[in-house]
Amino acid sequence: MKKWYKESYFDAGKWILENFDKLSLSGDETVLLLLIDLCKSSRRPITYEYLTQKLHKNTKEIDKLIASLVSKHYLKLSTNSKGLVFDIDAIFEFDPEKYEISENKDLYDTVSEVFGKPLSPSELQKMNDLINEYGQTRFIEALRISEAQRKLRMAYIEGILRNEKL
């Protein structure tokens, strides 16, 4: 079955622009993802020369942007016979609308909705501990990564917070 974001009617660039704030992307990260999408859709090779020229950045700065996107699990790199392959499909694997936390929607409700079940007392306690230790913003970013990886457990979120710099 074809993924919804692989359908011919789907505009990845528009989706990225509509959701970059919910995805906690910087302007440079957003433009880099848009350039990758543009190259893929026009079957143009993605090279450092192209990226440095378009972003007006040196290779070290491009490396930092790529590393940031990889650490957020929005970009996967691999190689094939033609060289480096940039895969941004993971960015579409979760619904950023779940992360719109307004004054009338509690963070606990949001986490329960993402987990697809009410949180147990131990999960609530762990969530409180993690928010107190790492802050709400970092917790939400770790939750996004957890959902993108389809590993919705507080222990996994805790591991992300302990092991990664968000």
* Tens of pLDDT, residues 89-131: 988 876 655 555 443 357 888 888 888 888 887 788 888 889 8
User: Average pLDDT of the chain?
Assistant: 85
Q: Given 65, 92, 119, which residue is the final one in a domain?
A: 92
Instruction: Quote the pTM value.
Output: 0.60
Which residues lie below 8 Å from residue 90, measured CB to CB, with a gap of 6+?
Answer: 73, 74, 75, 76, 148
Residues 63 and 80 in one domain: yes
Q: Encoding tokens for residue 95?
A: 């619904």
Distance CA 18, CA 44 (A): 24
Domain that holds residue 79: 4-92
From 92, 111, 133, the end of a domain falls on: 92
For 141, half-sphere exposure in the C-beta direction (CA atoms, 13 angstrom radius) is 21
Number of domains in the chain: 2
Handedness of CA 154, 159, 161, 166 (dihedral sign): negative
Please indicate, yes or no, whether residues 54 and 102 belong to a single structural domain of this protein. Answer: no
In a shared domain, residues 109 and 80: no
57 lies in the same domain as 118:
no
Confidence class of residue 52 from pLDDT cuts 50, 70 and 90? very high
Across 61-92, b (16+ Cβ under 10 Å) vs e yields ebeebbebbeebbbbeeeeeeeeeebebebbb
**135-151 average pLDDT score:** 87
Residues 53, 9, single domain; the answer is yes
pLDDT mean over 26-42: 94
Q: What is the mean pLDDT of residues 54-80?
A: 90
132 and 158, same domain (yes or no): yes
